[in-house]
Amino acid sequence: MHIDYQSLRFEYRRSPDQSAAQLAHHPVVVVGAGPVGLATAIDLAQSGLRVLLLDDDRCLSNGSRAICFAKRTLEIFDRLGCGDRMVEKGVTWNLGRVFHRDDPVYSFNLLPEGGHRRPAFINLQQYYVEGFLLDRAGALPEIEIRWNNKVAALGPREDGVELTVETPEGEYRILAEYVVAADGARSPIRKAMGLESKGRSFRDRFLIADVRMKADFPAERWFWFDPPFHPNQSVLLHSQPDNIWRIDFQLGWDADPEEERKPERVIPRVRALLGKDAAFELEWVSVYTFSCLRMARFRHGRVIFAGDAAHGVSPFGARGANSGIQDAENIAWKLALVLRGEAPETLLDSYDSERVAAADENILNSTRSTDFITPKNESSRAFRDAVLDLAKDCAFARRLVNSGRLSLPSTYCGSPLNTLDADRFEGLMVPGAPALDAPLRDGDWLLRRLGGGFTLLHFGAASPVMPESETALRVVNITPEDDAEGLAATRYDARPGTTYLIRPDQHVCARWRRFDPEAVRAALRRATGRG
């Protein structure tokens, strides 16, 4: 069944809260039904919390917008119960190619090894991502969504935040114990609280043209510097479902955004790329500039900022929506523990430290890519052109070509929730790292076995018995037979007895060479902000 998610309009419905004699209480109010708000709400609901999701509009994303969803995001969607739909609909890709003028100069495979359930990336229009998340949210009775409900004011109280909500029928007030502000780059909540996001803006403009056509380009990311069909500027091509192609044309700072949006300006640019006889229709056009910026802190008492509301990056690297989804899963399990009284509210400060560090990593990568694509002075332009020229015959220069360093999840190296290694380990699965997937017997996958909640991942012939702890803990034992290909043991540098403590967001927080219930208990206390 095909649903045109972009054209769906949702009903405003009056809530009993609007005529309640007393202020209605809600444990969590999530503001903004974009990808980040929806993912946060689903994650909270899956841990049994009642969630109210408010959106000031009554529709999903207008235009394809964020289209590249990374492997880690897909793994999060798996845990949220909608990964298969995303991957079935999306265009899977792993390979990026870079051209300079007419010549291929460099290509990169973002997932060069096998044994992963999910690909490096899928391309999928943001309205499908939101639509599939919304369908999943609709299956969870804990989630209530109120469309056309705009937060107009916030008032902090000792026991929560009082929200004034505007509706077509006037204002009403509610009390939220915690608010997750996922209300986008222009975040009205950020403004209402007198907070700001600061950073750098780049003097360049880009045209996005979504084009509907039948074409035989492969499902790869193609990036041109100075191509003959668009001289002196760059062009990026991506494939989307439904025979839609995303083309980004760099225009330069002097371009007139109003003029460049007009079909009579856009069509010749597309024709120059596709050939003069190409048959296509324009699906969506937008002209944009971009910035790299973030708020100084993402947690402000009982209000927590996530996604574009908290931080912004340039689009090269697909680090916007992907990092927002990682914000969502980072805050969701922590809020759930705090609201159930199983962790102190100071646990929420670790959201701030972990995700601010992640935002800085994303901003750094995205700024470096932008400095390469949009040289900011004549010297940077000369070095950029020199790199592209040398890349033809000097291998070292290909490593310097930067058309976007694509989204990877952050490792929370310095997190206060980590327990430092006492035993010797090799490889990537250091405390703070996002757990790597691996194939298991009978078509199963390691990340699917981990699921959500705190998990003790043990490698050995028999499962250890964990005495009851204050925080619920599941034990997943991987026997040599389960790990038929041996990839789980390789990726986790595991020997019989190796034990990992995995957080609900599937990041490693501690590991040992042998199972010791006391060490596990201490690490669990630490990972829940009680250590």
Partner 1 sequence: MLNTEPNLAAPDDFYEALLAIHQDLTPEQARIVDARLILLLSNHIGDMAVLRQAMERARQGITPAGQDATITIRA
In the complex, which residues of this chain contact partner 1 (CB under 8 A)? 185-186, 196-203, 253, 291, 293, 312, 376-379, 382-383, 385-387, 389-390, 394, 396-397, 400
Q: Please, which residue, 198 or 214, has the CB nearer to partner 1?
A: 198
Q: Please, which residue, 292 or 438, has the CB nearer to partner 1?
A: 292
Q: Specify the amino acid at residue 481.
A: E
Q: How far is the CB of 375 from partner 1 (least distance, A)?
A: 8
- CA–CA gap between residue 360 and residue 198 (Å, rounded): 12
For residue 380, give every residue at least 6 positions away whose Cβ sits within 8 Å of its Cβ, in sequence order, or none: 371
- CA–CA gap between residue 231 and residue 225 (Å, rounded): 8
Q: How far is the CB of 382 from partner 1 (least distance, A)?
A: 4
- CA–CA gap between residue 298 and residue 287 (Å, rounded): 29
DSSP-assigned letters across all residues of 48-105? T--EEEE-SSSS--SS----EEEHHHHHHHHHTT-HHHHHHHSEEE-EEEEEETTEEE
CA distances from 283 to 213, 224, 280, 402, 406 (A): 10, 22, 9, 29, 26
Q: Please, which residue, 375 or 496, has the CB nearer to partner 1?
A: 375
Give the 3-state secondary structure of residue 25: strand
Q: How far is the CB of 189 from partner 1 (least distance, A)?
A: 13
Query: How far is C-alpha 213 from the geometric centre of its chain's CA atoms?
Result: 29
Give the H/E segment covering residue 46. helix 35-46
- CA–CA gap between residue 400 and residue 415 (Å, rounded): 31
* Angle, helices 320-339/347-373, rounded to nearest 10 degrees: 180
**CB-based burial of residue 522 (10 Å sphere; 0-12 exposed, 13-18 middle, 19+ buried)?**
middle
Q: How far is the CB of 143 from partner 1 (least distance, A)?
A: 29
Q: Could you tell me the two tokens for 203? A: 């003097």
Q: How far is the CB of 33 from partner 1 (least distance, A)?
A: 21
Q: Please, which residue, 90 or 307, has the CB nearer to partner 1?
A: 307
Q: How far is the CB of 439 from partner 1 (least distance, A)?
A: 38
Q: Please, which residue, 109 or 201, has the CB nearer to partner 1?
A: 201
Q: How far is the CB of 197 from partner 1 (least distance, A)?
A: 5
Q: How far is the CB of 378 from partner 1 (least distance, A)?
A: 7
Q: How far is the CB of 146 from partner 1 (least distance, A)?
A: 26
Q: How far is the CB of 367 from partner 1 (least distance, A)?
A: 9
Give the 3-state secondary structure of residue 330: helix
- CA–CA gap between residue 70 and residue 248 (Å, rounded): 19
CB atoms < 10 A from the CB of 174, how many? Answer: 24
Q: How far is the CB of 377 from partner 1 (least distance, A)?
A: 5
Q: Please, which residue, 198 or 276, has the CB nearer to partner 1?
A: 198
Q: Please, which residue, 196 or 485, has the CB nearer to partner 1?
A: 196
Q: Specify the amino acid at residue 238.
A: H
CB atoms < 10 A from the CB of 262, how many? Answer: 11
Q: Please, which residue, 356 or 436, has the CB nearer to partner 1?
A: 356
CA distances from 58 to 34, 124, 167, 184, 460 (A): 11, 21, 11, 15, 52
Q: Please, which residue, 321 or 456, has the CB nearer to partner 1?
A: 321
Q: How far is the CB of 401 from partner 1 (least distance, A)?
A: 12
Q: How far is the CB of 188 from partner 1 (least distance, A)?
A: 12
Q: How far is the CB of 354 from partner 1 (least distance, A)?
A: 23
Q: Please, which residue, 315 or 460, has the CB nearer to partner 1?
A: 315
Query: How far is C-alpha 8 from the geometric centre of its chain's CA atoms?
Result: 24
- CA–CA gap between residue 317 and residue 404 (Å, rounded): 5
Phi, psi torsion values for 409, nearest 5 degrees? -70, 150
Q: Please, which residue, 25 or 392, has the CB nearer to partner 1?
A: 392
- CA–CA gap between residue 185 and residue 311 (Å, rounded): 8
- CA–CA gap between residue 426 and residue 418 (Å, rounded): 17
Decide if 449 contacts 391 (C-beta within 8 A). Answer: no
Q: Please, which residue, 14 or 200, has the CB nearer to partner 1?
A: 200
Q: Please, which residue, 401 or 510, has the CB nearer to partner 1?
A: 401
CB atoms < 10 A from the CB of 171, how many? Answer: 12
Strand 68-70 relative to strand 121-123, pairing: antiparallel
Q: Please, which residue, 370 or 528, has the CB nearer to partner 1?
A: 370
